Amino acid sequence: MTELHHFENELLMLKADISKMLSLVLESYEMSIESLETYNIKLAKRVLLLDDNIDDLNRNIEESVYQIIARYNPLAKNLRYAMTMAKFSSNLERIGDLSCNIAQKTIKFSNENIKCELTEEIRKIIGISLQMIKDTFKAFGEKNIELAIKTWKTDNKIDDLEKLIYNDVFKKIKSKELNEELIVPFILITRDIERIADHCTNLCEEIVYIETSKELTTFL
């Protein structure tokens, strides 16, 4: 087998690891949301345990990228692909961390016996952010530039909802529709979700860059 074949095989293995990490991150986020909605501490703790696997994959991917660059000294698109995989992995790892933040709030609510009924707006921002992760996963697997750009644009909806939620939370607390002790948790949950969406936009930018060698903003 030639050196080129070895290089191509290692890139395929790297992409497979990224796909596995994407799957784990999606699972982690879905479980963290379900744990929050159902007060399921066991599920929340599974999110925290799963994060160890995500962290391990991130380290393995970073090490693989360094090894590929050192061993094959790739140029142009191949170098760009390898370096972008490291950035991709880092963004996925951060989404995993933010899912842990949400799971930890489930545990906190349970330990402090706080009743947490999510508002309609928070449920909506959760749904949009979850779809962003799924679409990012699909765009990566299919090399779908159009879907990556569409997903990137969705972040505007997240930003608008974040502002709406902040205003709504304070309004409902003022009118006694919401418990005051939920001010900080709801704001922090919303912030975590907004940051997850931001990392999705980063991933979409990397997908476009991998496939076209151009910045995503040049297609707008």
Taking Cα atoms as reference points, which of 40, 48, 55 lies closest to residue 101?
Answer: 48
Q: Which CATH superfamily is domain 3-219 in?
A: Phosphate transport system protein phou homolog 2; domain 2 (1.20.58.220)
Asked if 102 and 192 count as a contact pair (C-beta separation under 8 A), the reply is yes
Who contacts 192 (Cβ-Cβ below 8 Å, separation ≥6)? Answer: 98, 101, 102
**pLDDT value at residue 96:** 97
**pLDDT value at residue 25:** 96
- Check residue 153 and give left, alpha or beta (phi > 0: left; psi -120 to 50: alpha): alpha
**pLDDT value at residue 126:** 95
Asked if 214 and 208 count as a contact pair (C-beta separation under 8 A), the reply is yes
What CA–CA distance (Å, rounded) separates 207 from 86? 12
What CA–CA distance (Å, rounded) separates 210 from 83? 10
**pLDDT value at residue 8:** 85
What CA–CA distance (Å, rounded) separates 200 from 193? 11
**pLDDT value at residue 171:** 83
Token pair 């990392």 is at which residue? Answer: 199
pLDDT tens over the chain, length 220 residues: 577 788 889 989 998 999 999 999 999 999 999 999 998 999 999 999 999 999 999 999 999 999 999 988 888 778 888 888 899 999 999 999 999 999 999 999 888 888 778 888 999 999 999 999 999 999 998 999 999 999 999 999 999 999 999 888 888 777 877 777 778 888 999 999 999 999 999 999 999 998 888 899 999 8
Taking Cα atoms as reference points, which of 155, 44, 42 lies closest to residue 105?
Answer: 44
Q: Is the pTM of this model over 0.85?
A: yes
What CA–CA distance (Å, rounded) separates 191 from 25? 18
**pLDDT value at residue 92:** 96
**pLDDT value at residue 145:** 96
